[in-house]
Amino acid sequence: MIKVRVMFATITGNNEAVANLIIDDLNAAPTDIDLKKEQIELVDAKTIAKDNVDLLILVPYTFDLGSIPDEALDFYEDLADTDLTGIVFGVAGSGDDFYGDDYCTAVDTFETRLLETGASKGADSVKINLYPDAADAEYLQTFTQNLLAKF
Provide mean pLDDT across the span 106-119: 98
Amino acid 14: pLDDT: 97
Work out the mean pLDDT of the chain and round it to a whole number.
Answer: 96
Amino acid 115: pLDDT: 98
Q: Assess contact for 119 and 83: CB atoms under 8 A.
A: no
Q: Which of the four pLDDT bands, split at 50, 70 and 90, describes residue 21?
A: very high
**DSSP states along 85-142:** TT-EEEEEEEE-GGGGGGTTHHHHHHHHHHHHTT-EE-S--EEEESS--HHHHHHHHH
What are the pLDDT digits (tens) for 48-82? Answer: 989 999 999 999 999 888 999 999 999 999 999 99
Provide mean pLDDT across the span 103-121: 98
Amino acid 112: pLDDT: 98
Amino acid 5: pLDDT: 98
Distance CA 103, CA 123 (A): 19
**β-bridge partners, 6:** 37, 57
What are the pLDDT digits (tens) for 90-108? Answer: 999 999 999 999 999 999 9
Amino acid 64: pLDDT: 86
Q: Which of 58, 111, 52 is nearest to 86 (CA)?
A: 52
Amino acid 99: pLDDT: 94
Amino acid 140: pLDDT: 98
